[in-house]
Amino acid sequence: MAHHDTSNAETAHHDARLGTAIGAASGLASGALAGGVAAGPAGAIAGATVGAVVGGIGTRLLAEDFDVTPVDSHWRDRFAREPYYEDGLAYDDYAPAYHLGAAARIRHPQASFEEAEAAMEAEYMGLRGESKLAWERASKAARASFHTTYF
């Protein structure tokens, strides 16, 4: 019987949570400072809230343990009927954006797509692989996936 060592997975999960917390704290401080300068105390509170959300999203969205099966099952037969579909492109061109949109929604359910988009764009560049879609075109699929319930 094979022995599965979970220490690496637990460490990675802890590191991801720590990175999110650090990003959120950094975003909170930056947002509060920017909001306070622009609009006084009320602006500081609003800036801190938005900064915390965006700062927390700034960490890796698509974890290695993310199961893409439900996402692929949902989109594989639908993608070519979507309004953003471009003739001649395959599902594999859209898949990284679908995966990323779903992961962002799961990891940050209170964030809007607009709040998560910058982090998704940054991560997409590394996940894109052989996809023919640059972010400007892929973001439409990511948005659709972000707003889809899979579970």
| Domain assignments of the chain as residue spans, ordered by start | 1-59, 64-151
- Tens of pLDDT, residues 50-84: 554 444 444 456 666 788 999 999 999 999 999 99
Distances (CA, A) of 79 to 29, 48, 74: 40, 38, 9
Question: pTM value?
Answer: 0.62
Q: At what angle do helices 7-57 and 113-127 cross, to 10 degrees?
A: 130
- Tens of pLDDT, residues 89-148: 999 999 999 999 999 998 889 999 999 999 999 999 999 999 999 999 999 999 999 999
